[in-house]
C-alpha cells in the first residue's frame, strides 16, 4: 500500500495560500511593469473611460445641491391692497408668521418697496417726480420644508391669495421646472453614456488580458502539461485585471479633480448671477473608495471573461 502524504495543518495551508496569492499578484504587477508603454496606454484609456461617468456623477450631485437651494429659496410674493392701513398689514404679517407652512416672512412697506425699486431699476430718477407712491406693500413668504416643493408651494400660494388684504399672489416656479426637466434629461443621458463607457472598460480589459494570454501561449501549454490547475494559471490574469482597474481609478480621480478645478471658476461666476454661493465639490472619500472598488471589480470581470474563454482553448497535445 502506498502511504498518503500527511496533510499540512490548517494554519500552514492558509499561510501557504496567502503567500501564493501574494506572489502571483506581485508577479502580475511585474508583467505590467515589463511592458510600460502598453500598460500606460491601456491604463490611460481605462482612466479616461471611467473619468467621464465619475465626472457626471459629481456634477449631478452638485446640481442637486444647487437645485435644492433654489427650490428651498422659492418665495411667494403677496401684493397687498393699496387702501390698507398699517395695522391691517401688520395683522396679516402676524397671522402669516403663525402658520406652520411658513418658514419666514419679510414685510416691505410701500416706502421700502419704492426704495428697493429705485435701487434695482433704471427709473430711479423718474420716480422722484411722482406725486404719490404707486407701489403697494409687499409680504415675501418663504415656505417651510415640504411646502417649498412646486405643487405644495402653488397650493400655499392659492391659500394665501384668499386673504382679504391680498390683491395678488405670485409664485414664479416655471423657470425652476424647466431647469429640473433639463437636469433630468442630463442625468438620463449621462447614465446611458456611463453604461456604455463601463462596458468599454470591461471590453478593453478583456482584450488586454487576451493579448497577454496569447503572448504566453506556449508557457501555458507547458504549465498544463506538468499538472498546473486552471485556478493556478488563471489567478495572475485576474490579479492583472484588478491592477489595471486600480490604476485606472487613480487616473480617473486625478482627471475628475483637474476638470473640477478648471470648471470651478466659471461655475462660481454663473451661480453668483443667481445669488448662489455653492462651490463645486469633488469626490468624497466614500465616493473615491467606491470608484476604486467598482473599477477593480470591472477589471476583474473583464479579465475573468477573457481568461474563461481563452484558457480553455489552450490544450496540450
Q: What is the pLDDT of residues 125-153, one digit of tens each?
A: 666 666 667 778 899 888 887 777 777 88
Average pLDDT estimate for 11-29: 70
| pLDDT tops 70 at residue 182 | yes
What's the pLDDT at 306?
87
Angle 167-90-127 (CA atoms, 0-180°, nearest 5)?
A: 60
| Model pLDDT, residue 8 | 57
Measured between alpha carbons, how far is residue 179 from residues 110, 182, 219, 261, 281 in Å? 33, 5, 59, 24, 20
Bridge partners for 140 per DSSP: 77, 106
Dump pLDDT digits (tens) for 235-271: 888 888 898 889 999 999 999 888 888 877 766 666 6
Q: How is the beta sheet containing 76-80 ordered, strand by strand?
A: 102-108, 138-143, 76-80, 166-170
In the chain, where does the domain assigned CATH 3.30.70.3040 lie?
A: 75-172
Structural class in CATH, domain 75-172: alpha beta
C-alpha cell at 90: 401688520
Q: For the beta carbon of residue 119, count every other beta carbon within 10 angstroms.
A: 8
Does the pLDDT of residue 57 top 50, yes or no?
A: yes
Amino acid at each position: 500500500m502506498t502511504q498518503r502524504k500527511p496533510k499540512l495543518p490548517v494554519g500552514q495551508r492558509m499561510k501557504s495560500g496567502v503567500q501564493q496569492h501574494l506572489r502571483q499578484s506581485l508577479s502580475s504587477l511585474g508583467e505590467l511593469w515589463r511592458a510600460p508603454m502598453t500598460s500606460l496606454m491601456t491604463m490611460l484609456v481605462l482612466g479616461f473611460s471611467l473619468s467621464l461617468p465619475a465626472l457626471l456623477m459629481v456634477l449631478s450631485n452638485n446640481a442637486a445641491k444647487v437645485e435644492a437651494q433654489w427650490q428651498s429659496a422659492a418665495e411667494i410674493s403677496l401684493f397687498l391692497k393699496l387702501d390698507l392701513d398699517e395695522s391691517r398689514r401688520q395683522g396679516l404679517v402676524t397671522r402669516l408668521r403663525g402658520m406652520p407652512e411658513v418658514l419666514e416672512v419679510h414685510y416691505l412697506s410701500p416706502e421700502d418697496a419704492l426704495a428697493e425699486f429705485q435701487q434695482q431699476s433704471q427709473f430711479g430718477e423718474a420716480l422722484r417726480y411722482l406725486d404719490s407712491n404707486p407701489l403697494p406693500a409687499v409680504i415675501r413668504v418663504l415656505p417651510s420644508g415640504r411646502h417649498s416643493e412646486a405643487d405644495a408651494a402653488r397650493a400655499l400660494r392659492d391659500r394665501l391669495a384668499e386673504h382679504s388684504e391680498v390683491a395678488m399672489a405670485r409664485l414664479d416656479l416655471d423657470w425652476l421646472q424647466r431647469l429640473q426637466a433639463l437636469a433630468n434629461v442630463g442625468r438620463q443621458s449621462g447614465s446611458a453614456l456611463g453604461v456604455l463607457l463601463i462596458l468599454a472598460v470591461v471590453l478593453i480589459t478583456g482584450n488586454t488580458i487576451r493579448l497577454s494570454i496569447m503572448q504566453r501561449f506556449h508557457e501555458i501549454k507547458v504549465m498544463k502539461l506538468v499538472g498546473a490547475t486552471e485556478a493556478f494559471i488563471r489567478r495572475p490574469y485576474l490579479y492583472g485585471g484588478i491592477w489595471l482597474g486600480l490604476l485606472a481609478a487613480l487616473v480617473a480621480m486625478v482627471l475628475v479633480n483637474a476638470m473640477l478645478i478648471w470648471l470651478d471658476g466659471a461655475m462660481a461666476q454663473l451661480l453668483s448671477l443667481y445669488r448662489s454661493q455653492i462651490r463645486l465639490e469633488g469626490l468624497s472619500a466614500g465616493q473615491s473608495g467606491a470608484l476604486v472598488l467598482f473599477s477593480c471589480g470591472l477589471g476583474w470581470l473583464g479579465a475573468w471573461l477573457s481568461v474563461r474563454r481563452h484558457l480553455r482553448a489552450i490544450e496540450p497535445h
